[in-house]
Protein backbone atom coordinates (compact mmCIF):
# COMPACT_ATOMS: atom_id res chain seq x y z
CA UNK A 1 0.00 0.00 0.00
CA UNK A 2 1.22 3.51 -0.75
CA UNK A 3 0.19 4.77 2.68
CA UNK A 4 -1.38 3.22 5.78
CA UNK A 5 -5.17 3.02 5.56
CA UNK A 6 -7.26 4.94 8.04
CA UNK A 7 -8.23 2.94 11.11
CA UNK A 8 -11.74 2.69 12.48
CA UNK A 9 -13.80 5.46 14.04
CA UNK A 10 -12.72 4.75 17.61
CA UNK A 11 -8.98 5.21 17.19
CA UNK A 12 -8.95 8.81 18.41
CA UNK A 13 -10.80 7.81 21.58
CA UNK A 14 -8.29 5.03 22.15
CA UNK A 15 -5.35 7.40 21.81
CA UNK A 16 -6.98 9.79 24.29
CA UNK A 17 -7.43 6.95 26.76
CA UNK A 18 -3.86 5.70 26.30
CA UNK A 19 -2.53 9.19 27.06
CA UNK A 20 -4.26 9.02 30.46
CA UNK A 21 -2.72 5.68 31.50
CA UNK A 22 -0.10 5.36 34.20
CA UNK A 23 1.67 2.91 31.91
CA UNK A 24 0.90 1.90 28.30
CA UNK A 25 -0.14 -1.59 29.44
CA UNK A 26 -3.07 -3.96 29.04
CA UNK A 27 -3.56 -6.61 31.71
CA UNK A 28 -4.42 -9.17 29.06
CA UNK A 29 -7.53 -11.35 29.26
CA UNK A 30 -6.80 -14.89 30.45
CA UNK A 31 -9.29 -17.76 30.33
CA UNK A 32 -10.41 -18.76 33.84
CA UNK A 33 -7.73 -16.51 35.36
CA UNK A 34 -8.95 -12.95 34.75
CA UNK A 35 -12.01 -12.25 36.83
CA UNK A 36 -13.59 -8.99 37.97
CA UNK A 37 -11.14 -8.83 40.88
CA UNK A 38 -8.08 -8.75 38.63
CA UNK A 39 -9.71 -6.35 36.16
CA UNK A 40 -10.75 -3.96 38.93
CA UNK A 41 -7.27 -3.95 40.46
CA UNK A 42 -5.64 -3.34 37.07
CA UNK A 43 -7.92 -0.43 36.20
CA UNK A 44 -7.54 1.07 39.67
CA UNK A 45 -3.75 0.90 39.24
CA UNK A 46 -3.96 2.96 36.06
CA UNK A 47 -3.67 0.35 33.30
CA UNK A 48 -6.21 -1.27 30.97
CA UNK A 49 -7.96 -4.30 32.44
CA UNK A 50 -9.50 -7.04 30.35
CA UNK A 51 -11.24 -10.36 30.93
CA UNK A 52 -12.77 -12.87 28.53
CA UNK A 53 -16.55 -12.68 28.35
CA UNK A 54 -16.59 -16.47 28.53
CA UNK A 55 -15.15 -16.33 32.06
CA UNK A 56 -18.76 -15.62 32.93
CA UNK A 57 -20.78 -18.79 32.47
CA UNK A 58 -23.74 -16.91 30.96
CA UNK A 59 -24.46 -13.51 29.49
CA UNK A 60 -26.56 -12.75 32.58
CA UNK A 61 -23.50 -13.40 34.76
CA UNK A 62 -21.40 -11.21 32.44
CA UNK A 63 -23.98 -8.44 32.84
CA UNK A 64 -23.73 -8.73 36.61
CA UNK A 65 -19.92 -8.65 36.49
CA UNK A 66 -19.85 -5.54 34.31
CA UNK A 67 -22.44 -3.81 36.49
CA UNK A 68 -20.33 -4.40 39.58
CA UNK A 69 -17.09 -3.40 37.91
CA UNK A 70 -18.32 -0.17 36.38
CA UNK A 71 -20.15 0.96 39.49
CA UNK A 72 -17.14 0.21 41.68
CA UNK A 73 -14.49 1.73 39.44
CA UNK A 74 -16.15 5.08 38.74
CA UNK A 75 -14.06 7.09 36.27
CA UNK A 76 -11.51 4.25 36.05
CA UNK A 77 -14.21 2.14 34.42
CA UNK A 78 -13.19 3.65 31.08
CA UNK A 79 -10.08 1.45 31.30
CA UNK A 80 -12.20 -1.73 31.16
CA UNK A 81 -11.97 -3.53 27.81
CA UNK A 82 -13.65 -6.95 27.80
CA UNK A 83 -12.55 -9.70 25.43
CA UNK A 84 -14.87 -11.60 23.09
CA UNK A 85 -14.15 -14.86 21.25
CA UNK A 86 -15.62 -14.34 17.78
CA UNK A 87 -15.20 -17.90 16.54
CA UNK A 88 -18.42 -19.33 15.14
CA UNK A 89 -18.42 -21.96 17.89
CA UNK A 90 -19.31 -19.21 20.38
CA UNK A 91 -23.11 -19.17 20.47
CA UNK A 92 -23.20 -16.17 22.82
CA UNK A 93 -21.70 -13.56 20.50
CA UNK A 94 -24.89 -11.59 19.83
CA UNK A 95 -26.03 -11.64 23.44
CA UNK A 96 -22.63 -10.59 24.75
CA UNK A 97 -22.43 -7.79 22.17
CA UNK A 98 -25.75 -6.45 23.39
CA UNK A 99 -24.45 -6.62 26.95
CA UNK A 100 -21.34 -4.60 26.04
CA UNK A 101 -23.53 -2.00 24.32
CA UNK A 102 -25.81 -1.74 27.35
CA UNK A 103 -22.82 -1.01 29.57
CA UNK A 104 -21.12 1.32 27.08
CA UNK A 105 -17.65 -0.16 27.60
CA UNK A 106 -14.82 1.83 26.00
CA UNK A 107 -13.59 -0.98 23.76
CA UNK A 108 -13.84 -4.70 23.08
CA UNK A 109 -10.89 -6.94 22.23
CA UNK A 110 -11.84 -9.73 19.82
CA UNK A 111 -9.95 -13.01 19.55
CA UNK A 112 -9.98 -16.46 17.91
CA UNK A 113 -11.43 -15.40 14.61
CA UNK A 114 -11.95 -12.53 12.21
CA UNK A 115 -13.79 -9.52 13.70
CA UNK A 116 -15.80 -8.78 10.54
CA UNK A 117 -19.14 -9.79 12.02
CA UNK A 118 -18.92 -7.60 15.14
CA UNK A 119 -17.14 -4.37 14.18
CA UNK A 120 -20.15 -2.60 12.74
CA UNK A 121 -22.45 -3.31 15.68
CA UNK A 122 -19.80 -2.27 18.21
CA UNK A 123 -19.07 0.95 16.33
CA UNK A 124 -22.79 1.73 16.20
CA UNK A 125 -22.78 1.45 19.97
CA UNK A 126 -19.82 3.86 20.19
CA UNK A 127 -17.43 1.08 21.24
CA UNK A 128 -13.90 0.84 19.81
CA UNK A 129 -12.66 -2.52 18.55
CA UNK A 130 -9.25 -4.16 18.86
CA UNK A 131 -8.60 -7.55 17.26
CA UNK A 132 -5.85 -9.96 18.15
CA UNK A 133 -3.95 -11.29 15.13
CA UNK A 134 -1.12 -13.76 14.63
CA UNK A 135 -0.04 -12.96 11.07
CA UNK A 136 0.11 -10.10 8.59
CA UNK A 137 -2.73 -11.72 6.64
CA UNK A 138 -4.88 -11.76 9.80
CA UNK A 139 -3.97 -8.11 10.43
CA UNK A 140 -4.92 -7.07 6.89
CA UNK A 141 -8.32 -8.74 7.17
CA UNK A 142 -8.99 -7.06 10.51
CA UNK A 143 -7.98 -3.68 9.08
CA UNK A 144 -10.36 -4.17 6.15
CA UNK A 145 -13.10 -4.89 8.67
CA UNK A 146 -12.53 -1.45 10.18
CA UNK A 147 -10.95 -2.20 13.56
CA UNK A 148 -9.46 0.61 15.61
CA UNK A 149 -6.60 -1.43 17.02
CA UNK A 150 -4.66 -4.64 16.60
CA UNK A 151 -3.13 -6.92 19.23
CA UNK A 152 -0.10 -8.58 17.65
CA UNK A 153 0.38 -12.08 19.05
CA UNK A 154 4.08 -12.83 18.64
CA UNK A 155 6.49 -15.57 19.66
CA UNK A 156 6.45 -16.06 23.41
CA UNK A 157 2.95 -14.83 24.17
CA UNK A 158 1.00 -16.91 26.68
CA UNK A 159 -2.09 -18.84 25.69
CA UNK A 160 -3.04 -18.94 22.03
CA UNK A 161 -0.24 -17.21 20.19
CA UNK A 162 1.65 -16.51 17.01
CA UNK A 163 5.21 -17.25 15.92
CA UNK A 164 6.37 -13.99 14.34
CA UNK A 165 9.30 -11.93 15.57
CA UNK A 166 7.78 -8.94 17.42
CA UNK A 167 9.98 -6.27 15.86
CA UNK A 168 9.40 -7.50 12.31
CA UNK A 169 5.68 -7.92 12.94
CA UNK A 170 5.20 -4.39 14.28
CA UNK A 171 7.23 -2.91 11.45
CA UNK A 172 5.28 -4.66 8.71
CA UNK A 173 1.88 -3.96 10.25
CA UNK A 174 2.75 -0.28 10.66
CA UNK A 175 3.16 -0.10 6.87
CA UNK A 176 -0.47 -1.12 6.58
CA UNK A 177 -2.19 0.41 9.60
CA UNK A 178 -2.29 3.77 11.36
CA UNK A 179 -4.42 2.71 14.32
CA UNK A 180 -3.52 1.48 17.77
CA UNK A 181 -1.12 -1.45 18.07
CA UNK A 182 -0.72 -3.55 21.21
CA UNK A 183 2.23 -5.94 21.27
CA UNK A 184 1.97 -9.31 23.02
CA UNK A 185 4.78 -11.78 23.57
CA UNK A 186 7.43 -12.10 26.26
CA UNK A 187 6.83 -8.69 27.86
CA UNK A 188 7.30 -8.99 31.60
CA UNK A 189 9.12 -5.90 32.84
CA UNK A 190 9.30 -2.15 32.35
CA UNK A 191 12.24 -2.29 29.99
CA UNK A 192 10.25 -4.57 27.65
CA UNK A 193 7.32 -2.15 27.74
CA UNK A 194 9.63 0.62 26.57
CA UNK A 195 11.05 -1.65 23.87
CA UNK A 196 7.53 -2.28 22.56
CA UNK A 197 6.96 1.46 22.28
CA UNK A 198 10.30 2.06 20.58
CA UNK A 199 9.42 -0.68 18.07
CA UNK A 200 6.26 1.21 17.14
CA UNK A 201 3.56 -0.22 19.40
CA UNK A 202 1.21 1.95 21.44
CA UNK A 203 0.54 -0.61 24.15
CA UNK A 204 2.22 -3.61 25.75
CA UNK A 205 -0.03 -6.62 26.33
CA UNK A 206 0.87 -8.48 29.54
CA UNK A 207 -0.93 -11.57 30.76
CA UNK A 208 1.72 -13.85 32.22
CA UNK A 209 3.04 -11.14 34.56
CA UNK A 210 -0.32 -11.14 36.39
CA UNK A 211 -0.73 -14.92 36.68
CA UNK A 212 0.54 -15.19 40.26
CA UNK A 213 -0.91 -11.94 41.60
CA UNK A 214 -3.26 -11.86 44.56
CA UNK A 215 -6.29 -11.27 42.31
CA UNK A 216 -5.53 -14.07 39.84
CA UNK A 217 -7.93 -17.02 39.85
CA UNK A 218 -5.11 -19.51 39.31
CA UNK A 219 -5.13 -22.28 41.90
CA UNK A 220 -2.18 -22.90 44.21
CA UNK A 221 -0.59 -25.66 42.10
CA UNK A 222 -0.72 -23.48 38.98
CA UNK A 223 0.73 -20.51 40.86
CA UNK A 224 3.58 -22.61 42.18
CA UNK A 225 4.35 -23.96 38.70
CA UNK A 226 4.51 -20.39 37.41
CA UNK A 227 6.82 -19.27 40.23
CA UNK A 228 9.23 -22.12 39.50
CA UNK A 229 9.21 -21.88 35.70
CA UNK A 230 11.63 -20.26 33.26
CA UNK A 231 11.53 -19.63 29.55
CA UNK A 232 12.67 -23.16 28.68
CA UNK A 233 9.71 -24.57 30.62
CA UNK A 234 7.22 -23.04 28.16
CA UNK A 235 6.18 -25.27 25.25
CA UNK A 236 4.20 -24.49 22.12
CA UNK A 237 1.45 -27.03 21.42
CA UNK A 238 -1.74 -27.27 19.36
CA UNK A 239 -3.15 -30.16 21.38
CA UNK A 240 -5.31 -28.07 23.67
CA UNK A 241 -7.71 -26.38 21.23
CA UNK A 242 -6.19 -26.92 17.80
CA UNK A 243 -4.54 -23.47 17.92
CA UNK A 244 -0.85 -23.10 18.84
CA UNK A 245 -0.67 -22.23 22.54
CA UNK A 246 2.11 -21.63 25.08
CA UNK A 247 1.73 -24.15 27.90
CA UNK A 248 3.92 -25.06 30.87
CA UNK A 249 5.82 -28.30 30.44
CA UNK A 250 4.89 -29.31 34.00
CA UNK A 251 1.23 -29.42 32.97
CA UNK A 252 1.93 -31.28 29.73
CA UNK A 253 3.89 -33.90 31.67
CA UNK A 254 0.76 -34.63 33.69
CA UNK A 255 -1.97 -34.32 31.07
CA UNK A 256 -0.73 -34.72 27.50
CA UNK A 257 -1.79 -38.40 27.28
CA UNK A 258 -5.27 -37.44 28.54
CA UNK A 259 -7.83 -38.36 25.84
CA UNK A 260 -9.94 -35.34 26.84
CA UNK A 261 -7.38 -33.05 25.24
CA UNK A 262 -8.28 -32.49 21.63
CA UNK A 263 -6.15 -32.20 18.53
CA UNK A 264 -9.19 -31.23 16.48
CA UNK A 265 -10.40 -27.78 15.53
CA UNK A 266 -11.28 -25.02 17.98
CA UNK A 267 -13.84 -26.00 20.60
CA UNK A 268 -15.41 -23.10 22.48
CA UNK A 269 -16.62 -25.50 25.13
CA UNK A 270 -13.01 -26.37 25.98
CA UNK A 271 -12.58 -22.80 27.23
CA UNK A 272 -15.51 -22.89 29.62
CA UNK A 273 -16.23 -26.44 30.77
CA UNK A 274 -14.74 -28.26 33.73
CA UNK A 275 -12.36 -30.38 31.65
CA UNK A 276 -8.57 -30.30 31.89
CA UNK A 277 -7.50 -26.68 32.27
CA UNK A 278 -4.07 -26.09 30.78
CA UNK A 279 -1.47 -24.12 32.70
CA UNK A 280 -0.64 -21.46 30.17
CA UNK A 281 2.29 -19.06 30.47
CA UNK A 282 4.39 -16.97 28.11
CA UNK A 283 8.13 -16.53 27.82
CA UNK A 284 8.06 -13.74 30.41
CA UNK A 285 7.35 -16.28 33.14
CA UNK A 286 10.84 -15.90 34.64
CA UNK A 287 9.89 -12.34 35.68
CA UNK A 288 7.64 -13.85 38.37
CA UNK A 289 9.24 -15.15 41.55
CA UNK A 290 6.66 -14.34 44.22
CA UNK A 291 2.99 -13.61 44.66
CA UNK A 292 2.38 -9.86 44.65
CA UNK A 293 -0.63 -7.60 44.59
CA UNK A 294 -1.67 -6.21 41.22
CA UNK A 295 -0.90 -2.73 42.53
CA UNK A 296 2.64 -3.80 43.48
CA UNK A 297 3.25 -5.37 40.07
CA UNK A 298 2.12 -2.21 38.30
CA UNK A 299 4.28 -0.08 40.61
CA UNK A 300 7.31 -2.28 39.88
CA UNK A 301 6.66 -2.10 36.13
CA UNK A 302 6.34 1.67 36.40
CA UNK A 303 9.66 2.00 38.25
CA UNK A 304 11.41 -0.32 35.78
CA UNK A 305 9.94 1.58 32.84
CA UNK A 306 11.11 4.97 34.10
CA UNK A 307 14.55 3.58 34.91
CA UNK A 308 14.75 2.14 31.39
CA UNK A 309 13.86 5.52 29.91
CA UNK A 310 16.60 7.20 31.94
CA UNK A 311 19.14 4.50 31.05
CA UNK A 312 18.31 4.75 27.37
CA UNK A 313 18.65 8.52 27.31
CA UNK A 314 21.96 8.31 29.15
CA UNK A 315 23.23 5.65 26.76
CA UNK A 316 22.39 7.52 23.58
CA UNK A 317 22.90 11.05 24.83
CA UNK A 318 26.19 10.79 26.71
CA UNK A 319 27.64 13.73 28.56
CA UNK A 320 29.73 15.59 25.98
CA UNK A 321 33.45 15.66 26.60
CA UNK A 322 35.19 19.05 26.44
CA UNK A 323 36.74 19.78 23.08
CA UNK A 324 40.55 19.94 23.26
CA UNK A 325 43.09 21.08 20.75
CA UNK A 326 46.80 20.52 20.49
CA UNK A 327 49.44 23.04 19.56
CA UNK A 328 49.21 26.77 19.78
CA UNK A 329 45.89 28.54 20.02
Q: pLDDT tens, 11-23? A: 999 999 999 999 9
Q: Is 301 exposed, middle or buried (0-12, 13-18, 19+ CB in 10 A)?
A: buried
- Residue 329 has what pLDDT? 45
Residue 168's H or E segment, with its range, is helix 166-174
Phi, psi dihedrals of residue 222, rounded to the nearest 5°: -65, -45
Give the span between the Cα atoms of 210 and 246, in whole angstroms: 16
- The pLDDT, as a whole number, for residue 244 is 84
Q: What is the mean pLDDT of the chain?
A: 89
Whether the per-residue pLDDT at 5 is higher than 70: the answer is: no
Task: Name the 3-class secondary structure at 26.
Answer: strand
Distance from C-alpha of 224 to C-alpha of 167, rounded to nearest angstrom? 32
The pLDDT of residue 161 is 86
pLDDT tens track for 55-90: 999 999 999 999 999 999 999 999 999 999 999 889
- Per-residue confidence band for 197, with pLDDT thresholds at 50, 70 and 90: very high
Q: Which domains does the chain have, with CATH numbers?
A: 11-228+279-316 (3.20.20.70)
Q: In this structure, what DSSP letter does residue 320 have?
A: P
According to the model, what pLDDT value does residue 262 have? 52
% of the chain surpassing 90 pLDDT: 75
Instruction: Give the residue-averaged pLDDT of 147-166.
Output: 93
The band of 239, judged by pLDDT with boundaries at 50, 70 and 90, is confident
For the stretch 269-319, pLDDT in tens is 666 554 557 899 999 999 999 999 999 999 999 999 999 999 998 887 666
The model's confidence at residue 323, banded by pLDDT at 50, 70 and 90, is low
Does residue 143 register a pLDDT over 90? yes
Q: What is the pLDDT of residue 320?
A: 64
The pLDDT score that the predictor gives to residue 270 is: 60
Is residue 238 very low, low, confident or very high in pLDDT (cuts 50, 70, 90)? confident
Amino acid sequence: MASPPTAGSGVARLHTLIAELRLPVVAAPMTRISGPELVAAACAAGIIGSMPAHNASTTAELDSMLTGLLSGLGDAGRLLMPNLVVHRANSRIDADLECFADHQVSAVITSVGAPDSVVRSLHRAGIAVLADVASVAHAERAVRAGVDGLVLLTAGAGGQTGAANPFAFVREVRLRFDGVIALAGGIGDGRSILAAQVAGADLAYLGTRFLATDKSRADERYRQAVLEAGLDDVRLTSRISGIPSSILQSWLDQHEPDPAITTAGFDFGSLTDAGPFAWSAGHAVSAIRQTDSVADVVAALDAEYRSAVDDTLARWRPTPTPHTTSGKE
